[in-house]
Structure 1
């Protein structure tokens, strides 16, 4: 079973906390962050080692205590994993390694 499916039955119960966190991100200038983005971060990164043993109150606490920097670090790493880098010449390589 995929990790995100293990937690899906909790999603409707923690929706108000997800919505609140998304609104907080928007107030801080991160308008493009969706509830789905936050949810995927939680199940793929933050809760990945919990083995579906979290209590509902622990999930809500985890959502509400999520820091923007923590989420943005994850998002940046995921974006870099998906990006394809090509260096067409040696000058670009040298510039990158400065």
Structure 2
């Protein structure tokens, strides 16, 4: 937890004010899932402390692209009608 708090504070200093500990945790876990099944604690802390802002923003962007498809339904959109 102290490593996540430190990284969030670093990102806030860099101008990424919307970064949260939960999002950073999800980003780090997503990156670690690509590798080994078992991760030692010092590798986890290293992954948190070496996370770059560009990697975090890339993860957020990919997550936004994988989000729900708003155009999936064929329901008609009515503009200006209540």
Per the TM superposition, whether the score is higher than 0.5 is yes
1:3 aligns with none
| Counterpart position of 1:35 | 21
Whether the 8 Å contact between 2:4 and 2:25 is mirrored in structure 1 is yes
Q: Which has the higher helix share?
A: 1
- 2:56 aligned residue (49, 67, 71): 71
Q: CA RMSD in A?
A: 1.3
Q: Distance in 2 between matches of 1:65 and 1:21?
A: 9
Question: C-alpha distance in 2, partners of 1:54/1:85?
Answer: 37
Match of 2:5 among 19, 32, 48: 19
Gaps of 5+ in 2: 72-82
| Structure 1 position 62 matched with structure 2 position 23 | no
Which consecutive segments of 4 or more residues in structure 1 shift more than 6 A? none
Q: How many residues align?
A: 70
1:90 corresponds to: none
TM-score when normalising by structure 1 = 0.66
